[in-house]
Every structure is written in structure tokens, then in C-alpha cells.
Structure 1
Amino acid sequence: MILYLHGFRSSPKSMKGRVISERMAELGLSDQLVCPQLPASPKLAMELALSLIEGVPAEELSIIGSSLGGYYATWLAERIGCRAVLLNPAIVPLQDLDKHVGVTTQFHSDEPFEFKREYIDELRALAVDPITRPARYFLIAATGDEVLDYRDMVKHYAGARQHVIDGSDHGISEFPEYVDAVLAFCGIEAGR
């Protein structure tokens, strides 16, 4: 089973969410992918994620997280002991998200999105430093990420499998080129 966690103000309709969903459908494995809309509250987002994977053995679970979803995926992987793929993950979102307190909209819809100041404390409670068992992680980081510094990612996931893209952007525009490698790390071979 794969749990995909989108980034801040994003949704399962993000490009990476759609690419993963479409590839899993092509492989006849749509039933093995869970891609929820996460609430703005980190605490509620993790409660939702835990409820969706309840009863799934760690060795049968992989989490793919993008940006803030990567921060969440790291906390979950440490808690559960499963594999995690991190796509330009947030490392210390507390410092970056303070400026986003307030009401705005989601990126892929006109749905309101409210980020409350207390959510920063909820994020603090999910911090993982350092990671344990780096072999269970696969980092894909872009040097051209305009939101987060890839060097922080590389340092935080030292010892993990890493692929650093020279250039690109925060959204990893060429993600379709990497989806099969991501799924392979999750135990799903594209040639099935």
C-alpha cells in the first residue's frame, strides 16, 4: 500500500498526486494507493493518515510525501517503521510557514484554506532530527527548488538513497520521469 501526502495548501489533484495515481491505475494497482485531502491542522492531518493506514503492516506500507507532505511522511515513517519517498521535503517548516498564518485558498481549487498560528506548535511536535535507519528513505531533491533549500534536505537525509536533480523546481516539473523509480522504491515494479 502507498500513502501519498501532498504539500502545504495542495491536494491530491497536484501534478505529482495525479502522476502517481495515473501510473498506479496503468499498473492495475489503484486499490493500493491512498491519496487523501489533508486538513490544514498538522495534528488532524496525522490523525487522518494514521487512520487510513491502520492495520497495514510496516513492511507492506510506503509513504510518498511532497514538501510539507515529506515532513509528515518522515514523522510517520519513524513512528511506523515503513519506507518513505521524500519529494523536495520541508525540513523545518516552522520558520517558513509563520508568514502563511491566515485564510487563503487551496492551490488546486477555490476552497478556503485557513492556517492557524497554533498549527506551528503542532508542526513542532512532529519534528524528526535525526532520522533513524536511513535505508528506509529515498530523497528526490531539486537544486532549483525556489521554496526550500535542497542542501538542507541532503544533510537531513544523510545516508539515505538520494537523487539530486540539477535544476528543476519545487514542484519537480519532470516528475513523470521519476515516478517508476519512486514506485520501485515502494516495492512496485513498473513491468508487472
Structure 2
Amino acid sequence: MSKILYLHGFASCGEGNKSRVLGAYFGNENLLAPNLPFAPQEAIETLSTQILGEKPSLLVGSSLGGYYATYLAEKFDIPAVLINPSCKPWETLANYVGWQERFCDAERFEFKQVYLHQLERFSSPPQSSRYLVLLQSEDEVLDYRVAKEQYKEYRVIVEYGGNHRFENIHEYLSMIESFMKS
């Protein structure tokens, strides 16, 4: 089986609910789910090195990880599944400049103003790669309609209800598997 590279969201970790569910379904040995650096430039460099070392057959990105996945999908021509992706994180994360805690382990980190500028530099509209976009309309963090519009040329699934965490990802595993094989 081919490798899947999972990219977590802001203030999250590689070891979370979505990565556990993906690992259980596809096999933990087939899932790469690193803890990403807080600085976007470092995150992209880390992920690019990972991809150059062992190119995955699929990227799965959630929230900020969906934003990173779009940039990397375009750069390395890798299909991507985006879960409630952030489309303009330099705007949506502006209120988070300062000290934050990761959700998974309460590690404190500083989210710096310069990171917003770094994020904007990685804006990469979807053009050449393949995307499956999973959205939930009751996302309390991001307006799902922004992603629905940005990825309208691709396969977009909107589930009415839900939340930003997309807690029922297990219901979409066979769809993700079909997308990966197509």
C-alpha cells in the first residue's frame, strides 16, 4: 500500500483523532503524521523534505493542514483530500498572534505576526492537482462556503451539520480510499 501524509491543523498534533482513524483504516505503517513546526516556513520545509524522501500517494490535510496540502499538492503533483480546509489562514489566524497551547498536549508556543506573512506567501490556488474536499456546514471556525467556492472545480462534499473537527471522518474512509485509487 502507498503512503498517506496527514497534515494536522493549527495548534494540533500529528497524533489526533483523524490520524488515528486513518491509521486504523489504512494501516499505521502506511500513515505519516508528523507534528508540524509552528512557523509556516519551517512546516513547508519539513514537509517538502519528507515528500522528497518518500513521496506519498496521497495528502490528507485538515484546516491549516488543508492549506499546506494544497500548496504541496500543486508543487509535487500529489492528490489531496482536504478536510474543512483553511483558504486564507493569514486572515483567520490573525487573532491568534501571541502565546497559544496545543490542543493535544498543552505545549505552549508563540504564534508570531511574521507567520501570517509566511502563510500568505504559500497561497497556491488549486490548478493542476486532484482534490477531494470534505466540508461541514456547521464549522464554527471557518466558513465552509469559502472553501466550497475555492474548490468548486473539484469534488466537494458538503455535509450539513458537523463541526470544525469533522469528528465523523470514519464515515468517509471508503470514499477517501476510492479517491486515492482513482
Q: So what's the TM-score if we normalise by structure 2?
A: 0.93
Q: Which residue of structure 1 lines up, in the alignment, with residue 48 of structure 2?
A: 50
CA RMSD of aligned residues (A): 1.5
Partners of 1:132 and 1:23 in 2: CA distance? 29
Q: Which runs of 4+ in 1 moved over 6 A?
A: none
Task: Give the Å deviation of 1:55.
Answer: 4.5
Query: Does the Cα contact within 8 Å between 1:100 and 1:115 map onto a contact in 2?
Result: yes
For residue 85 of structure 1, give the secondary structure of its aligned residue in structure 2. Answer: strand
Write the deviation string for residues 89-145 of structure 1: whole angstroms up to 9, x where unpaired.
00011111111111121001121122111111110110023x1136x1000011111
More off after superposition, 176-185 vs 153-162 = 176-185
Q: Which residue of structure 2 lines up, in the alignment, with residue 163 of structure 1?
A: 157
Q: Which residue of structure 2 lines up, in the alignment, with residue 19 of structure 1?
A: 21
Q: Which residue of structure 1 lines up, in the alignment, with residue 31 of structure 2?
A: 33
Partners of 2:21 and 2:110 in 1: CA distance? 27
| Identical columns (%) | 37
- Is 1:101 matched up with 2:103? no
Query: Does the Cα contact within 8 Å between 1:85 and 1:137 map onto a contact in 2?
Result: yes
Q: Which amino acid aligns with 2:147?
A: M
Write the deviation string for residues 29-71 of structure 1: whole angstroms up to 9, x where unpaired.
x3322110001001100111111111545xx621000000000
- Is 1:179 matched up with 2:173? yes
Q: Which amino acid aligns with 1:10?
A: S
For residue 82 of structure 2, give the secondary structure of its aligned residue in structure 1. Answer: strand
Partners of 2:173 and 2:112 in 1: CA distance? 33
Query: Does the Cα contact within 8 Å between 1:2 and 1:186 map onto a contact in 2?
Result: no
Of residues 107, 110, 124 in structure 1, which corresponds to 2:106?
Answer: 110
Partners of 1:102 and 1:21 in 2: CA distance? 33
Query: Does the Cα contact within 8 Å between 1:7 and 1:66 map onto a contact in 2?
Result: yes
Q: Which residue of structure 2 lines up, in the alignment, with residue 64 of structure 1?
A: 60
Query: Does the Cα contact within 8 Å between 1:12 and 1:18 map onto a contact in 2?
Result: no
Task: Give the Å deviation of 1:179.
Answer: 1.9
More off after superposition, 179-188 vs 152-161 = 179-188
Q: Which runs of 5+ in 1 are unaligned?
A: none
Task: Give the Å deviation of 1:24.
Answer: 2.0
Q: Which amino acid aligns with 1:79?
A: K
Total equivalences in the alignment: 180
Query: Does the Cα contact within 8 Å between 1:89 and 1:153 map onto a contact in 2?
Result: yes
Partners of 1:10 and 1:149 in 2: CA distance? 19
Task: Give the Å deviation of 1:23.
Answer: 1.4
Query: Does the Cα contact within 8 Å between 1:74 and 1:128 map onto a contact in 2?
Result: yes
Partners of 2:141 and 2:5 in 1: CA distance? 24
Query: Does the Cα contact within 8 Å between 2:100 and 2:108 map onto a contact in 1?
Result: yes
Query: Does the Cα contact within 8 Å between 2:15 and 2:33 map onto a contact in 1?
Result: no
